[in-house]
Amino acid sequence: MTPELDVFPGAFPHRPPPDLDSPELLVDHDWRAFAAVERMTNHWERPGWHEGARAYYWMLTFPDAGELMSRAQQCQEALAHLGMDCVPGDGLHVTLTRIGNADLVSNDQVQLLADLARQMSLSAFDVVAHPLAGSRGAIRFTLAPWSPLIRLHATLSEIGRRANVPGGKPTAAFRPHLGVQYSNRERPAEPVIESVARLHTLAPVPLKIGSVELVELWRTTQPSPVYRWRVVHSIPLRLQSVPPTRSDRQQV
């Protein structure tokens, strides 16, 4: 069962979409929210990210997703005139949930999180990355469907409660997305939205989600700000069994 989302002022969009699985409705919902933004903010001005800060997160990473990297680069090149900070190909990710600052989470807790995740037998799934929309502080792909991502978030959040780690936002506030550029200053949003609109109907990219990563995350600033991480634990997701077809059953 998929947990329900709720209106949450700190999330973007504030209101959840009317349907968690329809690509058309998810793309439309994300675009309408982005098109209503009046000013872009500086993504890097976020509380808690002081110099040298490190934190543990659960993330999806895409080290071998060549098509995704190509589509992200295509969008970045088309938006180069905006002067935003690009997410490098090996930095593309989906943030699932925060575990806690590295100085507040022990090695034993990190190991317990990984052990609990393996015991949960989490299921693999497919999503599609739809270009292109954004938020107040980033340009990003819309992901569809949301349901498997929300279920994964809820499971990882429950694991975090059992391991007694600080944790992040509740599942009700989760809005899945995949960023490709970060806004590095405040600016009027209208020119950004107009530029992104030209890329809004690019072909989507299918993604197979076969693992979830527990990472230690930090920022670097040279030559431009970017997130980097090391994978502490990679948790394989269980392949779902496919019922045999009628012809398969006849051959048994």
Per-residue pLDDT of the chain (252 residues; tens, 9 = 90+): 889 999 999 899 999 999 999 999 999 999 999 999 999 999 999 877 877 899 999 999 999 999 999 999 999 999 999 999 999 999 999 999 999 999 999 999 999 999 999 998 789 999 999 999 999 999 999 999 999 999 999 999 999 999 999 999 999 999 999 999 999 999 999 999 999 999 999 999 999 999 999 999 999 987 889 999 999 999 999 876 544 445 444 443
Q: Look at residue 240 in the predicted model and tell me its pLDDT.
A: 65
* Residue 49, domain member (yes or no): no
**What's the gap between Cα 171 and its chain centre?**
13
Handedness of CA 98, 144, 192, 93 (dihedral sign): positive
Residue 12 lies in a domain: no
What residues form DSSP beta bridges with 138? 182
At residue 250, the pLDDT reads 44
Residue 248 placed within a domain: no
The two structure tokens encoding residue 216: 């230690």
Question: Which whole-number Å values give the CA distances from 170 to 10, 48, 135, 213, in the listed order?
Answer: 11, 18, 19, 19
In a domain, 10, yes or no: no
How far, in Å, are 12, 40, 82, 187, 194 from residue 191 at the CA level?
A: 20, 10, 9, 9, 5
What pLDDT, on a 0 to 100 scale, did the predictor assign at position 222?
76
The CATH number that applies at residue 215 is 3.90.1140.10
And the tokens for 27? 């793309």
Alpha carbon distance 162, 150 (integer Å): 19
- Domain assignment present for residue 141? The answer is yes
Question: Which among 191, 177, 179, 186 has a CA at the least distance from the CA of 82?
Answer: 191
Q: How many domains does the chain have?
A: 1
Residue identified by tokens 């270009």 is 131
- The helix, strand and coil proportions of the chain, stated in percent and rounded to the nearest 5, come to 35, 30, 40
158 domain residue, yes or no: yes
In a domain, 90, yes or no: yes
- Predicted model pTM: 0.92
Give the count of beta carbons closer than 10 Å to the beta carbon of residue 125. 17
Domain that residue 167 falls in: 23-44+55-239
Indicate whether 107 belongs to any domain: yes
Identity of residue 121 = S
Take residue 125 and report the two structure tokens written for it: 């799934």
DSSP line for 111-160: HHHHHHHHHTTPBPEEEEEEEEEE-SSEEEEEEE--HHHHHHHHHHHHHH
